[in-house]
Chain A
Amino acid sequence: MKRRGTAVNDDVPLRRDSHDHLVCSVDDLPPGSMMLAPIGQFGVGVYNVDGEYYAITNYCPHQGGPLCRGRVQGTSHAASVGAGESSYVSEGRILRCPWHQWEFDIAMGCTITQPTRHIRTYPVRVEHGNIIVTK
C-alpha cells in the first residue's frame, strides 16, 4: 500500500465544493498534533505526522470506538524470530484505538497486524495555509 501524502495546492485558485471542509490553519496543527473536526456523523481526526497531514474517520473499524481519542505513539518491532529482542519504531506514527488498543498506522490507514483492517480515510490538502479535508 502506497503511503499517502498531502497535496499542497497554493497555485490553484481558492475553491470550495460542497465536499470540502476547512479544518484549521497550518499554524494550528504543528507536527505531532491532531485536530478533531466536526465532519460527518463521527467526526474526522486530522493528524500532522512529521509534516504530512492525514485525515481519518473518528470510528474504529472494529466496534466503532472513537478512534481519534486514542494515543499516538510508536510501537514495538521484533528483532528476533519468536520471543526475544524487540525494538521501538514508528514514533508518532501509530494510533491505538482507545477501546481495544488495536494499532493503526496513520499514514497507511490500516492495522499493522495481518490481515489488515482499514480505517476510512479522506484526502487532505493545504491551500493558502489552510488545511482542507474532502469528504
Chain B
Amino acid sequence: MAGYDLSGSVKEVEIVDCDVHPYERSVDQLREYAPKGWEKELFPSGREISPAFLYYDPPDYVHARSMRYDAVTPSGDRPGSDPDFATEQLLDGAGIDIAMLQPIPVLERLPEADHARRVTTNNWLADVWLDKHNAHGRWRGAISVSMRDPVAGAREIERWAGHPYMCQVLMCPQSRVSFGDPWFDPIYEAASRHELPVATHVMGLGPFEFTPLNPVGNQTHWHDFLPSWSLLYVSHLMSLVFDGTFEKFPNLRVVFTEGAFSWVLPTMWRMDAYWRARRSDVPWVKRSPSEYVKEHVRFTTQPLEEPPVSSDYKEYLGWMDVGSLLMFSSDYPHWSYDAPHWASRFFPRSALNAIMRDTAIELYRLPRTVLELTSRDSGRSMV
C-alpha cells in the first residue's frame, strides 16, 4: 500500500466507523462491473445525458457536491473515490481502525434495473475496495440489495455470503412499503440465515417517486427535509415491531444508519404504550416493543444533535442505553461528517468503548486487532 508500511505490528481496534461512503471514480470505472447486457442501459454513453435529481441541495452544493470540501482526492477526483486517499485521510488522519463501507447506488426507475445497478455496485466494491485496495484489511463492505426486488436481493445475498469482508446487507428505506411488510421477507430470511445484519441508509438525492413521501406534503429546503429522515425511520421501526418481523426472524439484526438516534427513546415509550393499550390488535407481538428494539436494532451516531445548550444533550444521552444501542459513525466523506474525537466527548464514559468499537465488533464479528499503518513519510502533512 503506497505510503504505508504494513509489515510492522498490529494494533488494537479502538474506533470502528460504521458509515463511510465509497464512490466510483467515474462512470467508466463502474461500467466494467455491470452484469452482462446491462452496461448500456445503466451507463448510457453517447448522446444520452445522465442528469442528477437536484432539488434539495445541501449547503454550497455547486462547489461542495454534498462532500467535505477538503476530501477531494489529490488527483482532483470526487471525494470518496480513492481508497488510498481515504486510508490516509480517514483511517490514518482521523484514527479510524475499521470502516464499514456503505455505497449509495443510484435509484433506478425499473425494479430489474435497480437490481442490476446493485449487482454492479457489489462487484465494484468487492474488487476495488475489498480486494485491490484492502491490503491493510481495514475496509468492510455491504451487500447492496434492491428494495424493489427482494427475491433477486436474496439471491445476491447468497452470492456474497461468506465473503471475508462483506459484513452486512444494505437496503434503501425509501420504499413506500414499510420494513415489516412480508414483501421484504426473502431478504430477511437470507440475511438472518447467514447472520448478516440488514442496514438501511437514506439515499438522499433521488427521484420524487423515491423521496420519502411525506404524509402532509413535501418540505421546502434540505433544512426541513433533513429532520424528517428520523420520522421515516420511526415508521419503519414501528413496522418491524408491530408487523412481527422479529418474531418471524429471531436472528435478524437491523441497523438504522444516518437517521440520528435520540428519537429512539420517546419512540420506544410510545410503542410500548400503544402495544399495552392495543395488544389484541397485534397478538403476534409477544414482547414489549422496546425489548425488540434493544435486542434487534442498532443505530449509528452521526449526525449528533447540537442543541443550543450542549449539557441538555449529554443529559439526554444519559437517559438512553447508548452503550447497547449505538455505534459510532462519521459519514466520511459527506459534508455532515462527525469527527470521531469530537463526537466521543458527548458519550458517557461508561459507554464509550461500546459505542466507539465493541458493539460494532460484536454485531459484525470484526477482529479486535488490525495491521498498524506506519507512514513511510517522516513528516506529517497538515490535514
Asked if chains A and B are in direct contact (CB within 8 A), the reply is yes
Q: Which residues of A approach B to under 8 Å, CB–CB? A: 36, 38, 42-43, 58, 63-66, 69-71, 83, 96, 98-101, 115
Q: Does B68 contact A (CB under 8 A)?
A: yes
Chain A neighbourhood of B339, CB < 8 A: 63-65
| Bound-complex Cα distance A115 to B310 (A) | 13
Q: Are B382 and A70 in contact (CB under 8 A)?
A: no
Binds A, one of B1-9, B56-64, B200-208, B260-268: B56-64
Q: Any chain A CB within 8 A of the CB of B337? A: yes
Interface residues of A, dominant DSSP: loop
Chain B proximity of A3: nearest CB distance (Å): 25
Q: Tell whether A101 pairs with B60 under 8 Å between CB atoms, given A43-B382, A66-B383.
A: yes
Closest 5 CB pairs of A and B: A98-B69, A101-B59, A63-B342, A69-B70, A63-B339
- Chain A, Cβ-Cβ closest to B336: A100
What are the residues of chain A within 8 A of B60 when measuring CB–CB? 71, 96, 101
Does B382 contact A66, Cβ atoms closer than 8 Å? yes
B69 contacts A99, CB within 8 Å? yes
A101 to B338: give the CA distance in the assembly, Å.
13
29 A–B pairs (Cβ distance < 8 Å), ordered by A: A36-B382, A42-B382, A58-B382, A63-B339, A64-B339, A64-B341, A64-B342, A65-B68, A65-B339, A66-B70, A66-B382, A66-B383, A69-B69, A71-B63, A71-B69, A83-B220, A98-B68, A98-B70, A99-B69, A99-B335, A99-B337, A100-B59, A100-B335, A100-B337, A101-B58, A101-B59, A101-B60, A101-B64, A115-B308
Chain A residues near B335: list those with CB within 8 A. Answer: 99-101
- Chain B stretch 65-85: residues in CB contact (< 8 A) with chain A: 68-70
Closest A residue to B67 using CB positions: A98
A64-B341, A64-B342 given. 16 additional CB < 8 A pairs? A36-B382, A42-B382, A58-B382, A63-B342, A65-B70, A65-B339, A66-B383, A69-B69, A69-B70, A71-B69, A96-B60, A99-B70, A100-B59, A101-B59, A101-B60, A101-B64
Question: Interface code B39-65, partner A: CB below 8 Å = 1, 0 otherwise?
Answer: 000000000000000000011100110
Q: Give the A-B pair count, Cβ closer than 8 A.
A: 46
Chain A nearest CB from B15 CB (Å) reads 15
Please give me the residue from chain B that is nearest to A67 by CB atom: B70
Within 8 A of A (CB), among B294-343: 308, 335-339, 341-342
Q: B338 — which chain A residues lie within 8 A by C-beta?
A: 63
**Residues of chain B within 8 A of A58, CB atoms compared:** 382
Q: When chains A and B are docked, how far (Å) is the Cα of A42 from the Cα of B336?
A: 21
Closest to B304 in A: A63
User: How far apart are A78's CB and chain B's nearest CB, in angstroms?
Assistant: 14
- In the complex, residue of chain A having the shortest beta-carbon distance to the beta carbon of B343: A63
One digit per residue, 1 when the CB lies within 8 angstroms of any chain A CB and 0 when it does not, for chain B 77-113 equals 0000000000000000000000000000000000000
Which residues of chain B come closer than 8 Å to A70, judged between CB atoms?
69
Nearest A-chain residue to B68, judged by Cβ: A99
A38: which B residues are within 8 A, CB to CB?
382
Q: How far is the CA of A96 from the CA of B63 in the complex (A)?
A: 11
Complex Cα distance, B342 from A52, in Å, reads 33
What distance in Å separates the Cβ of A77 from its nearest Cβ neighbour in chain B? 16
- B63 contact set on A, CB distance < 8 A: 71
**Nearest-Cβ distance from residue A85 to partner chain B, whole angstroms:** 15
- Bound together, the chains give a CA A115 to CA B220 distance in angstroms of 25
**Which residue among B58, B59, B69 has the maximum number of chain A CB atoms within 10 Å of its CB?**
B69
- Among residues of A, the one whose C-beta sits closest to the C-beta of B61 is A101
Task: List, in ascending order, chain B residues with CB within 8 A of A96's CB.
Answer: 59-60
Provide the bound-state CA to CA distance between A71 and B62, in Å.
12
Bound-complex Cα distance A58 to B59 (A): 20
Q: How far is the CA of A36 from the CA of B63 in the complex (A)?
A: 21
Q: Cβ of B68: which chain A residues have Cβ within 8 Å of it?
A: 65, 98-99
Query: How far is A106 from B64 in the complex, measured between Cα atoms in Å?
Result: 20
Within 8 Å CB of A100, what residues of B? 59, 335-337
A36–B383 Cα distance when bound, in Å, is 12
Residue of B nearest to A115 (CB): B308
Complex formed: what's the CA distance from A108 to B59 in Å?
Answer: 22
A19 nearest CB across to chain B (Å): 20
A131 to chain B, nearest CB (A): 19
Query: With the chains together, A65 CA to B64 CA distance in Å?
Result: 15
CA–CA, A64 and B342, complex, Å: 8
Instruction: Note all chain B residues with C-beta closer than 8 A to A71.
Output: 60, 63, 69
A99 to B16, CA, bound (A): 21
A100–chain B nearest beta-carbon distance, Å: 6
- Closest-by-CB residue of B relative to A42 is B382
Among A42, A43, A96, find the residue whose CB has the most chain B CB atoms closer than 10 A.
A96
Complex formed: what's the CA distance from A64 to B343 in Å?
11
